Amino acid sequence: MNVMKGHRESLIEVAVADADLPREFATRLVNAAPWLDGTVELSEELAPQLLADEAAEFGVSLTKVREFVDRYNTLVLSHNNPHASRQSEAYVEIGQVLSDFGRADAFGEGDYWLVDDSFSTKNPVILVYESFRFPPTALSKLQELLNQYNGVFSELRINTDFGSEVVTLRPR
């Protein structure tokens, strides 16, 4: 219990500091907002309303409350998934590499699609449409990138849009 309390307090204090709010505001939130538990993201719509009384006490503007909520959510996500920023980097890099070998399209009108949501997991997926297949050069470049992101991903799967596995690459 004390571990979570320490994490919660630290997270609130860092989010308050990052939003350039008074330190006392953090103390008030720790005491008055138990629902700020440090493990769940805040609703960007509801949180400013829920924090309105505390914000008014300290003369904190709605803009600053939104900054706090944004920073708080970033810290929660980072704590829940410490690889999130590296996964995002990998998604961008893989997209750039593959753009030389075909056209990405989420609706099946291109050659392939990087399944966005899968990049927040250890097993990202690339779908290939119809009879499209990446050439060996593309697979080699994907393997190089996967090796760079060893520890972030367990494997990279390339599947058809019907779910059949084409190839699975693993970091070396």
pLDDT at 148: 93
Q: Structure tokens of 91?
A: 């998604």
As given in the structure block, the two tokens for residue 108 are 């099946």
- Span 51-65, average pLDDT: 95
Residue 57 in 3-state DSSP?
A: helix
3-state DSSP: the chain helix, strand, coil percent, rounded to 5? 50, 10, 35
Instruction: Say which amino acid occupies 15.
Output: A
Report the 10 Å Cβ neighbour count for 80.
12
**Residue 86, Cα to own-chain centre: how many angstroms?**
9
* Length reported for the chain: 172
Task: Look at residue 5 in the predicted model and tell me its pLDDT.
Answer: 60
How far is CA 36 from each of CA 45, 68, 126, 131, rounded to the nearest angstrom? 15, 12, 36, 50
Which pairing describes strands 165-169 and 156-160: parallel, antiparallel, or unpaired?
antiparallel
Q: What predicted TM-score, i.e. pTM, was given to this entire model?
A: 0.60
Q: Which residue has the higher pLDDT, 77 or 33?
A: 33
Cα-flanking dihedrals φ and ψ of residue 101, to 5°?
-115, 0
Average pLDDT of every residue of the chain: 91
CB 94 within 8 A of CB 141: no
Q: pLDDT digit string (tens) for 95-125?
A: 999 999 999 999 999 999 999 877 778 899 9
SS3 call for 22: coil
Question: Given a cut of 80, is residue 36 above it in pLDDT?
Answer: yes
Look at residue 159 and give its three-state secondary structure.
Answer: strand
pLDDT in tens, 59-98: 999 999 999 999 999 899 888 777 878 888 899 999 999 9
Alpha-carbon dihedral of residues 85, 86, 87, 92, nearest 10 degrees?
A: 90
Q: Mean of the pLDDT values across residues 135-154?
A: 94
Distance CA 156, CA 168 (A): 6
Q: How far apart are CA 109 and CA 104, in angstroms?
A: 8
The pLDDT value recorded for residue 121 is 81
